[in-house]
Amino acid sequence: MPVSLDKLLVVGISSRALFDLEVEEAIFRTQGLAAYQQHQLQNENQILKPGAAFALVRALLKLNRLTADQRLVEVVIMSRNSSETSMRIFNAIQHYELDITRAVLSGGASLAPYLHAFNVSLFLSLHEDDVQAAINSDTAAALLYQMPTAQSAQHANEELDQIRIAFDGDAVIFSDESERIFQTMGIEAFERHERENAMKPLPEGPFARLLIALSFIQNNFKNPDGRAAPIRTALVTARSSPAHERVIRTLRAWNVTIDETFFMGGVAKSDVLAAFKPHMFFDDQPGHCDHAATHVQTGRVPLKRQENKIEGC
């Protein structure tokens, strides 16, 4: 019988998001594919440093060690590398003892067609075209920001008791329907619309299914010694009263519990995020992401649009 990934939380991650490949990326961009391939082969046994999503991936994989009878999370390397240049990636995975056994090595082709083949719930990358293509194919995806070097190293090595993930609301957990009203018609029209539709659940955004999956794991995790659940979530939204009610009622309708909720009302999110200490924060607004990325690991969620041609390798 073939193995099924249908009941797992599957995270697709690019090699550059998992490990620090900025030097190699610069070689590829400035010197070309042949120079990149030669560099990777010559440095095959040089262990790569942790990258932007390393801490989150390691924490998620830890869930599998907390359950005796089932796997909860599967991580799939999804890279535009070829098999010839991928040994360095696998050597690093083995060095850090990451429980990753599956990979997509597309040799420069688009990764988007393989997201559904592996039932990917979340795709993380530093390549904007790949992230946009994932969003266009209705997969939750984020373009990761690089943290300052010293802060990134500390974050990667920090062992937190819980996996902590923070989400923006509109255009991330929820659709961008209300956000578009705010952007085009202003705050008064937005608040009036939310009051009039307070009893109507918000449509799902690109990360709704991921949040629901995380909530399911939280609610069904058996922890006999009374310790806190291994996942903790936060909603950090620019909304404030009276736009709060529709959010609360929507989460009730989805049967989802958010552990911590912050209605910021336009106040900068960075200090709250620094206090919450998430492994990852997802937001759609570049300005919010720019500020947050100096404090916590951040991923920007692009809006869905017509898919662009993917170039490079």
Confidence tier at 6 by pLDDT (50, 70, 90)? confident
Residues 146 and 194 in one domain: no
In a domain? residue 305: no
Confidence tier at 70 by pLDDT (50, 70, 90)? confident
In a domain? residue 2: no
Q: Which of 12-21, 32-41, 62-71, 271-280 has the lowest mean pLDDT?
A: 62-71
Q: Nearest-CA neighbor of 200 among 263, 245, 168, 262?
A: 245
pLDDT of residue 313: 35
The pLDDT > 70 percentage for the chain reads 90
Mean pLDDT across 160-173: 90
CATH number at residue 288: 3.40.50
- Phi-psi region at 202: left, alpha or beta (left = phi > 0; alpha = psi -120 to 50): beta
Residues 57 and 149 in one domain: yes
In a domain? residue 145: yes
Residues 142 and 78 in one domain: yes
The answer, yes or no, to whether residue 35 has pLDDT greater than 70, is yes
The answer, yes or no, to whether residue 166 has pLDDT greater than 90, is yes
Neighbours of 145 (CB within 10 A): 18
pLDDT of residue 311: 42
Phi and psi dihedrals of 97, rounded to 5?
55, 45
Residues 219 and 293 in one domain: yes
Instruction: Show the 3-state SS of 268-297.
Output: CCHHHHHHHCCCEEEECCHHHHHHHCCCCC
Residue numbers annotated as active site:
168
pLDDT of residue 1: 55
pLDDT digits (tens, 9 = 90+) for 124-165: 999 999 999 999 999 999 999 987 655 555 555 565 668 999
CA distance 31 to 25: 10
Cα–Cα distances (Å) from 146 to 22, 273, 277, in that order, read 10, 16, 16
Give the type of residue at 239: R
pLDDT of residue 226: 59
Neighbours of 278 (CB within 10 A): 26
Number of domains the chain contains: 2
The answer, yes or no, to whether residue 286 has pLDDT greater than 70, is yes
Neighbours of 275 (CB within 10 A): 11
pLDDT of residue 156: 53
pLDDT digits (tens, 9 = 90+) for 186-228: 888 999 999 999 999 999 999 999 999 998 888 777 665 656 6
pLDDT of residue 8: 86
Pairing label, strands 298-300, 140-144: antiparallel
CA distance 63 to 218: 11
Q: Greater confidence, 10 or 218?
A: 10
Residues 22 and 115 in one domain: yes
CATH number at residue 83: 3.40.50.1000
Residues 59 and 123 in one domain: yes
The answer, yes or no, to whether residue 307 has pLDDT greater than 80, is no
In a domain? residue 4: no
Radius of gyration of the chain (CA): 20
The residue to which tokens 């929507």 are assigned: 250
Per the structure, the complete domain to which residue 84 belongs is given by 9-153
